[in-house]
Amino acid sequence: MIHIANDVFQIPVTPRQLVNTYLIGSTLIDAGIKFSGRTILRQLGNHRLTAHALTHAHPDHQGASAELCKKLGIPFWVGAKDQSAAESGLVVNNMPNPKHPVAIFEQNFMAGPGHPVDRILQEGDMVEDFVVIETPGHSAGHVCFWRERDGVLIAGDVLRNINFFTTMPELSEPPAIFTTSVETNKKSIQKIAALKPQVICFGHGPVIRDAERIQAFAKRI
């Protein structure tokens, strides 16, 4: 686990922070792919979990969700419009082309099974000391978690900070082939940039501690 801010840790589930989960307080945000359960539990060590929330129900975020919720007996919290994907486990159906070979690969080899959702997350809800921000586009029910006090944003996949081919840090939009609506996601990028986050935690890539870079990026797109 990498300490990011007060009561916030990044838990990468792959080398080079290619895929990340986060611990905020005692809530696990995202759960990697279906093989990530063990590495998450190992990194958590003695940290006790009381809940598990998703930024969105995609195969690289809900992979170990069912396993961890069952094993630890913790509730599962998901944005309203991602509920059916999270519960069915059919998590590429809302991508632009679910029959794309990469989508089929993700469904078969990365996605975890569905799991009943215990709480629907909506704009303004609190998760620990973070407020839920609805940020649709990458998926319809995508949410971010925002703590104004110290400017920490768990951004999910509204933006990423990695080039998937070189694995070098690179601030960019999520890949269009995995994004339900690129245009709607651009609006969500504007929405989070307007918060002026100081510490931006991505589903993919290392954390950025520079509010101006996010704002400059949001202006460019």
Binding site for Zn ion (CB under 5 A): 60, 157, 203
Minimum Å gap between C-beta 175 and Zn ion is: 9
Minimum Å gap between C-beta 19 and Zn ion is 7
Q: Quick check: 215 and 27 in contact, CB under 8 A? A: no
Closest-CA residue to 27 (of 54, 49, 42, 5): 49
Residue 58's φ and ψ, nearest 5 degrees, are -110, 160
CB nearer Zn ion, residue 137 or residue 203: 203
Q: Nearest to residue 65, comparing CAs of 117, 100, 20? A: 117
User: Shortest gap between Cβ of 157 and Zn ion (angstroms)?
Assistant: 4
Nearer to Zn ion, 27 or 179 (CB): 179
Nearer to Zn ion, 197 or 203 (CB): 203
Rounded Cα gap, residues 113 and 211, in angstroms: 37
Query: Which residues on adjacent β-strands are paired with residue 57?
Result: none
Least distance in angstroms from the C-beta of 58 to Zn ion: 5
Nearest residue (CB) to Zn ion, 158 versus 214? 158
Amino acid identity at 84: S
